[in-house]
Amino acid sequence: MKRSTTGTTHPALLPAPVHMDAAPGAGCTLDAGTALAAGPGTATTERWLRTTLGGALDLPLPPGRAGAPGTITLTVNPELPAEHYRLDTVDGSVRITGGDPAGVFWGAQTLRQLLGPDAFRRAPIAPEGGRSLPAVRIEDGPRFGWRGLMLDVARHFLPKDDVLRCLDLLAAHKLNVFHFHLTDDQGWRIEIERYPRLTEIGSWRPRTKWGHRASELWDETPHGGYYTQDDIREIVAYAAARHIRVVPEIDIPGHSQAAIAAYPELGNTDAVDTSALEVWDSWGVSPHLLAPTDATLRFYEGVLEEVLDLFPVEVSPFVHLGGDECPKDEWRRSPTAQARIADLGLADEDALQSWFLRHFDDWLTARGRRLIGWDEILEGGLPGSAAVSSWRGYAGGVAAAEAGHDVVMCPEQQVYLDHRQHGGPDEPMPIGYVRTLEDVYRFEPLPPGLSPEAARHVLGTQANVWTEVMQNRARVDYQVFPRLAAFAEVAWSRLPAPAERDYAAFETRMTAHYARLDALGVDYRPPGGPLPRQRRPGVLGRPIDGVPPQR
């Protein structure tokens, strides 16, 4: 009889698999004699098992014969759905069968969890000896095809090694989309060879607001950095080897002050002195946006030509162009913008933004890519093939899905991980609503009342990490974990309705998962509250009281 791991068949697996059975026969032991047989299409998992799992447990994993005792056998069986897998640990051997190469890889992630927290280290610490596994059969596959994390590296730059580590953490939680927020008012983080001032000027700001934008505190240390094109290629290749898609974000037409600081002609020069602009040193919504001129269109076509070269379509079918938080006062004051509205016969400035984005929707479509943007791109008319990241609650995503557009659900009030995790006074730089581990576990990506046809347009869900008050990797760790583990289960597992979810059982499994996070060196928020070094006393935040709206 099949039993769900949301019960007690195995206390450690996370996200919970669809089914886990105790299998007849003996289990198996992995030791120095264990071999690895990798069938066609499983090379990425073969390499990962030898380098990561083998390195942690001192297992050389020499080549072996498929199905033989003492062997880990990797196989692709296209009769299984994409990303699904079966994992058997019976009679002295391990067999992982996936519906595609990604499915095999997710099966290997489950095997790692079965082997205990030491399997998450970089080098062996235990005495020599085997690792015993019970005889089990696991059958598993994801609920959603888009299971993502957005990381903002524009507000605070994270070095390349921190990004690679983030990809490893996504893979460990069976998340498969990395939304890479590369440009904003506070910094431009990607090298564009034909426009060198984007990084020479646009990647550095002289100082940084310390805390919320209303804070009187400043960090006077210049802040910046960027990824070279080779860095980007390495990040993309690293993600691809872990079956993670990368969605690069280049913000237009708002959130562009860093680009305008580097190239003032990109801004509305007839409405403001753009030559006086610098990379922004504070937070919020900048009033400065791109000019709707042919020269600006050509400039960003040049940017995107290099972006598409760095993010090949196999890894990055979507390109995110922002489109959010775009105040249009400059366009209202700009004779050039007003003339463009009149020449195109547009109704207003919202329609001008839609025209701007439609241009790049057509441009990307002609090159085999798809535009995705924040839900403000619905204003003035949604470009034909564009997808929507629904962040201002569910409403934008519902409207887009009901109109036949694909949607990623990432409502701020539910899965913005910069929001505080507790209402206590020790939370560092508290932002937004309280969103506890349990709150995230009870998040439901599909809102009630969505029609079945519209529900098919919900590609999946994504947690977002905005780094205004996350100055380094440790602060990112604190805000993201352990809540990302709950989010991963919501995105992967077929859970009951939110009120019916067994949070107590999830907490039990989290006890084992904290040991994995410890082994990985993740500086998560402890269940009992922040450690003294994790607090930021006296730094102003923006806490919001009450229950967040569910709309």
Query: Does the pLDDT value for residue 1 go beyond 60?
Result: no
**Which distant-in-sequence residues (6+ apart) come within 8 Å of 480 by Cβ?**
149, 417, 463, 465, 524
Question: Using one digit for the tens of pLDDT, what is the confidence trace for 137-165?
Answer: 999 999 999 999 999 999 999 999 999 99
Of 472, 499, 500, whose CA–CA distance to 223 is shortest?
A: 472
Question: Using one digit for the tens of pLDDT, what is the confidence trace for 303-332?
Answer: 999 999 999 999 999 999 999 999 999 999
Exposed, middle or buried, 461 (CB in 10 Å: 0-12/13-18/19+)? buried
Q: What pLDDT, on a 0 to 100 scale, did the predictor assign at position 270?
A: 98
Taking residues 169-178, what's their average pLDDT? 98
**Which distant-in-sequence residues (6+ apart) come within 8 Å of 352 by Cβ?**
292, 328, 331, 337, 340, 341, 344, 346, 380
Taking residues 500-527, what's their average pLDDT? 97
Three-state secondary-structure class, residue 57: helix
Q: What pLDDT, on a 0 to 100 scale, did the predictor assign at position 550?
A: 79
Of 322, 260, 310, 312, whose CA–CA distance to 464 is shortest?
A: 322
The string of DSSP codes covering 503-551 is HHHHHHHHHHHHHHHHHHT--PPPTT---GGG--TT---EE--SPPP--
Work out the end-to-end distance of the chain between its first and last CA atoms, rounded to an integer number of angstroms: 40
Tokens (6 digits) for 431: 């932002």
Taking residues 102-112, what's their average pLDDT? 98
**Which distant-in-sequence residues (6+ apart) come within 8 Å of 64 by Cβ?**
35, 36, 37, 70, 71, 72, 73
Q: To 10 degrees, what angle do helices 483-492 and 503-520 make?
A: 120
Residue 345 CA to residue 210 CA, distance in Å, equals: 45
Residue 220 CA to residue 81 CA, distance in Å, equals: 53
Residue of higher predicted confidence among 27 and 181: 181
Q: What pLDDT, on a 0 to 100 scale, did the predictor assign at position 383?
A: 77
Catalytic residue numbers read 184, 255, 325
Tokens (6 digits) for 549: 């709206």
Question: Using one digit for the tens of pLDDT, what is the confidence trace for 47-59?
Answer: 999 999 999 999 9
Question: What percent of the chain is predicted at pLDDT more than 70?
Answer: 98
SS (H, E, C) 351-366: HHHHHHHHHHHHHHHC
67: left (phi over 0), alpha (psi -120 to 50) or beta: left
Q: Residue 497 in contact with residue 183, Cβ under 8 Å? A: no
Three-state secondary-structure class, residue 388: strand
The kind and range of the H/E element at 137 are: strand 136-140
Q: What is the DSSP letter of 23?
A: P
Question: Using one digit for the tens of pLDDT, what is the confidence trace for 74-95?
Answer: 999 999 999 999 999 999 999 9
Of 132, 128, 88, 131, whose CA–CA distance to 110 is shortest?
A: 88
Q: What pLDDT, on a 0 to 100 scale, did the predictor assign at position 99?
A: 98
Query: Does the pLDDT value for residue 3 go beyond 90?
Result: no
Mean pLDDT of the chain: 95
Of 359, 243, 255, whose CA–CA distance to 304 is shortest?
A: 359
